Amino acid sequence: MRWRFFFVAVFVGALAGCAGQASIRPAEVLDERTGITSAALREPIEFVQSAASEVVVLDKQHGFAYLGPVEWDRSGNISYGLWLQVVPGNDGEVADIRAAGAVTLILDDGSVILSPIDAPKLGQEPYGPVVSWGQTAYFELSPATLARMAASQKLALECRGVGSSKLSFTPTHAVGDILAKYARGRGIIHD
């Protein structure tokens, strides 16, 4: 009887361990048409437009941005990208985010100017548009930059506005753990 209890306890413990690992793993989808497996966060990270001298209120006046890393696996040939959707508010218009130098990622150890890329054409995109308007693009992402993002306490986006203005976006919640779990799940960082 004790052995039976022991085996049940071990089995339940193993299941709990697997469930814990599954909750931090990114969503993986195989595109049957192309054979590409994409791995993304279950939901993109939300950013709100920040203003230097005023309190940010989450309403239609302020713009939002949504960001998420993506891994594409083409039969062992792995590449990365950064998906971004920028949703303008009433207080600032965003220039074309696909233009060279239009989007900058701000991290603890410096800035990274993002370069737009053409993502693989899949039957189902890793992230769908959060809203029907706004601009969406993919940007180049190296494993080293993803590791920097995961280790950074500060993470912000800066987009070129119309004219010479710049619009800054900050996360609506802490994102270091989310990116660290994603990077760990992809084998980019290790504990």
pLDDT for 15 equals: 38
pLDDT for 51 equals: 66
Q: Is residue 191 part of a domain?
A: no
What's the total number of domains in the chain?
1
Alpha-carbon separation of residue 151 from 48, 71, 166, 188, 191 (angstroms): 21, 18, 25, 12, 12
What CATH number is given to the structural domain containing 73?
2.60.40
For residues 114-125, one letter each, b for 16 or more C-beta atoms within 10 angstroms of the residue's C-beta and e for the rest, the string is bebbebbebeeb
Q: Is residue 190 part of a domain?
A: no
Per-residue pLDDT of the chain (191 residues), as tens digits, is 443 433 333 333 433 343 333 334 468 999 999 999 999 999 999 999 986 434 444 445 679 999 999 999 999 999 999 999 999 887 678 999 999 999 999 999 999 999 999 999 999 899 998 988 899 999 999 999 999 999 999 999 999 988 878 999 999 999 999 999 999 999 999 87
- pTM > 0.85: yes or no: no
**Across the chain, which distance is largest between two alpha carbons, in Å?**
77
Residue 26 sits in which domain range? Answer: 2-185
Q: Are 169 and 50 in contact (CB under 8 A)?
A: yes
